Amino acid sequence: TPMVTYDYGDGRRSTVHCMPWTQFALEIQASNGEGVSLPITSDFWPAFIDKLLAFFDTKQPAVQKDETLEAVAMVEAGLHAIEIPDRWFEVKK
């Protein structure tokens, strides 16, 4: 299954592991090695659809443009990394 690691350049990293047969979860590990697993149990999709429909109605986005562009840049870099594994790619802002 695809896995992408993001290095934020300040000692922090995050990894996205796409496993379609599992529930959404967040795994966090501190620099001292301690960690925690947090299941994500929110009703994301109904709220997302409500915000999306509101956007189509009002033309006012629910989030800042810069945040959207940053998220899209991370997804694009991640997709590129999946195509060419075992290499680091810069996230273009």
Helix (H, G, I), strand (E, B) or coil at 41: coil
**Residue 41 token pair:** 């149990």
Which residues, at least 6 apart from 28, have a Cβ–Cβ distance to it below 8 Å?
35, 36, 37, 38
Band (pLDDT 50/70/90 cuts) for residue 93 is confident
Q: How far apart, in whole angstroms, are the C-alpha atoms of residue 83 and residue 93?
A: 20
Which pLDDT does position 51 carry in this prediction?
A: 93
The pLDDT tens digits for 53-92 are 999 999 999 899 999 999 999 999 989 998 998 899 889 8
The pLDDT tens digits for 12-69 are 888 888 788 888 888 888 889 898 988 888 788 888 899 999 999 999 998 999 999 9
**Pick from 17, 38, 16: nearest CA to 27:** 38
